[in-house]
A and B are shown apart, each in its own frame.
Chain A
């Protein structure tokens, strides 16, 4: 192909900056994009956390006066949207972005510019949703936006919801396609499917779930958008619209979404536990197949979110059964994680603590989840704090603990310096105690009937003490987060410098220097085993004891070697194309045709520029 003939001249010189602000805007390096994702998600984590603190302050005492009902509705809705779509999902994507290519022995993802596009769409989508706070009120109909309430709520809040999640969904879909192709098609020679690290497997399953679930949400959101802005009647019961349709579409997306949130954390834990137990993962194949099984079965349980909607005994029974069954593959995984630790020589690092915390908290959340499979039980608990307790045990005790475990584990690889272990352990224990103080009592007040999403409660319901405890717990979590920030700052300034392989790891990312060079691997690795790096470092004595065959990382980086490596060049166009999204969003919310046209024009301009520039500049 005549790449040279296509070299860009004239008005858009190819960006060349490798440092500074522009280098981040134009980067298409999966590692830099991963960092961008991680930092952005962490900022949203702080914002969503502050919202949670306000909610807890409001509920600390009966008849709270901190927030009024309207603001409370906005805060709990935005807390949910933020934590799900702007924290847990992108934090998982951040780690996938950084480590999928490194763990499969590739130099980048399959579509580097599409990757950058995903990030910018995500960022602009998040800013778009949050701008609603300053433009008359944020979404206030709950994160699952039940119709017909969501179509009739006054103000623009739920219009921002319908368009903002749409924009975030585009980012997820583009990312999913990218990761699927990367994992299937960019693996280093010898990296067969059954040699892939479990994190890669889980990323693949998550990507497929996103691929098939996001379009269903997209349709539901479009329908809500038509209802709110263009007089649609999808969810208008007055003329025969059926609110149940929204529930179906939302949860057909929503239940796979639950696994989208938790599977990356399961993948991380499956990397962290073997490394710090100095044992191979117990039952690799079982964990992999359990993950794939969850991916399939996750499609058959959505109506358990709708047991109170009157689906009738046939549907309720069927979905109760499938819901009980899906606990089986999850149980297999837990069994295998315990088996991995059993008899290992365990190092109690912070990453390991978070991983064990994940397993323990996830068991509690999983068990309270199974209790919802019983329809009468569920009818009793729906919309009480028992549900809130359950999903925080799986999403905070589960996903967030797992993600922090991943952060501690991979931090030295990304930034070249270790996070402090003392502060790390303080962070873990603050989180662990604060988390259980906050969400443990929710089981009790939930069973006693405290409803969720209600901005205040009267005295003498018997909930006062527990609510105060929960609020204290929430602030303990906040202190833990501050400790993490301090730890990160200190590590940046005077953290211990990380060697290539600080944890005696098993997977390919530890063969690269910390941080890895732009091209990842100077030579594409040849993979001969599962846990390949371990097998290159250790041989086995006849008694099965590992013996080290050579010291340190596989090869130091030699500067001579990599001059022939062609990496895709930075580009303005993904960010430019993504910039069209908020224009389209605002234009639609306020029905300003020129803004929509400008947005579409920016999008098209970005896509055309993107299509016409060569991916690699000579």
Chain B
């Protein structure tokens, strides 16, 4: 919801966007990186030795892919900062709000709701 004032750097941003569309060659390079990262993701899934590092690594790889697509294929790197703010606001709301929602399931009164329902028994990931 952060709103920049109308100003000339907005127009400059826009001009820059017009000039700086990536070339097909650059698009292909990005795609190759995406492919390689995906390959890594799947590979570490099978490598036992990764152990406890698996989840952080997967998060990192997914983040790299996400950011690459958004910045290059969706041109946010070159486009107006307003678009970036619209998207980032949505992302931030989603991340923060749902992190809290999921956290409340950890913190709730142990007595109020028990996990005895269903067959999941002592599932701990909630």
Interface residues in chain A, defined as those with a beta carbon under 8 Å from any beta carbon in chain B: 184, 187, 192-194, 205, 208, 211-212, 237-242, 244, 248-249, 252, 292, 295-296, 299, 303, 309-315
Contacts and interface: CB of A to CB of B under 8 A. Distances in A.
Nearest to A201: B3
A315 B97 contact: no
Contact of B1 (A192, A205, A237, A249): A205
Contacts of A242: 105, 113
B119 A240 contact: yes
Nearest to A310: B112
Contact of A312 (B96, B108, B118): B108
B1 A244 contact: no
Contacts of A211: 90
A537 to B, nearest CB: 25
Contacts of B46: none
A462 B84 CA distance: 59
Contact of A240 (B107, B109, B118): B118
B125 interface: no
Contact of B117 (A205, A237, A311, A314): A237
B91 to A, nearest CB: 11
Contacts of A311: 104, 107-109
B49 interface: no
A165 to B, nearest CB: 20
A244 B118 contact: no
B50 interface: no
Given A192-B6, A237-B117, A239-B118, A208 B107 contact: no
25 contacts: A187-B6, A192-B6, A193-B5, A208-B89, A212-B93, A237-B117, A238-B118, A239-B117, A239-B118, A240-B118, A240-B120, A244-B104, A244-B113, A252-B101, A296-B1, A299-B97, A303-B104, A310-B108, A310-B109, A310-B113, A312-B104, A312-B107, A313-B109, A315-B107, A315-B108
B82 to A, nearest CB: 7
Query: Which of under 10, 10 to 19, 20 to 34, or 35 or more describes the interface residues of B?
Result: 20 to 34
B101 A295 contact: no
Interface string B56-91: 000000000000000000000000001000000110
Q: Is the interface of A mostly helix, strand, loop or mixed?
A: helix
A312 B1 CA distance: 32
A244 B6 CA distance: 44
B1 A292 contact: yes
Interface of B: 1, 3, 5-6, 82, 89-90, 93, 96-97, 101, 103-105, 107-113, 117-120
Contacts of B108: 244, 310-312, 315
Nearest to B3: A193
Nearest to A211: B90
Given A240-B117, A240-B119, A303-B104, A312 B109 contact: yes
B107 A184 contact: no
A250 to B, nearest CB: 11
A198 B81 CA distance: 25
A212 B90 contact: yes
Contacts of B118: 237-241
B34 to A, nearest CB: 27
A184 B74 CA distance: 21
Contacts of A296: 1
A241 B120 CA distance: 11
A299 B93 contact: yes
Q: Is the interface of B mostly helix, strand, loop or mixed?
A: loop
A240 B1 CA distance: 38
A309 B111 CA distance: 11
B93 A192 contact: no
Nearest to B126: A242
A211 B113 CA distance: 33
Contacts of A244: 104-105, 108, 113
Contact of B82 (A184, A187, A295, A313): A184
Contacts of A292: 1
Contacts of B105: 242, 244
Of A187, A237, A241, A244, most buried by chain B (CB within 10 Å of CB) is A244
A192 B109 CA distance: 50
A194 B89 CA distance: 21
B58 to A, nearest CB: 24
B101 A238 contact: no
A299 B107 CA distance: 20
A295 B101 CA distance: 19
B117 to A, nearest CB: 5
A243 B108 CA distance: 13
A517 to B, nearest CB: 27
Nearest to A302: B97
Contacts of A310: 108-109, 111-113
Contacts of A208: 1, 89
B18 to A, nearest CB: 18
A62 B41 CA distance: 67
A447 B36 CA distance: 65
Contacts of B109: 310-313
A238 B119 CA distance: 9
Contact of A315 (B82, B104, B110, B113): B104
Given A212-B93, A238-B118, A252-B101, A192 B107 contact: no
A248 B5 contact: no
A188 to B, nearest CB: 11
A249 B100 CA distance: 12
Contacts of B101: 248-249, 252
A242 B105 CA distance: 10
Contact of B5 (A192, A295, A315): A192
A249 B104 CA distance: 13
Contacts of B111: 310
Given A248-B101, A310-B113, 5 more contacts: A184-B82, A187-B6, A240-B118, A299-B97, A309-B112
A314 B1 contact: no
A187 B90 CA distance: 24
User: What 8 pairs across the A-B complex have the smallest Cβ distances?
Assistant: A310-B112, A240-B118, A310-B109, A314-B107, A312-B108, A315-B104, A312-B107, A312-B109
A434 B46 CA distance: 71
A553 B98 CA distance: 52
Contact of A252 (B6, B90, B97, B103): B97
Contacts of B3: 184, 193
A212 B5 CA distance: 22
A293 to B, nearest CB: 10
Contacts of A187: 6
A249 B93 CA distance: 13
Contacts of A314: 107
Contacts of B90: 211-212
B112 to A, nearest CB: 3
Nearest to B90: A212
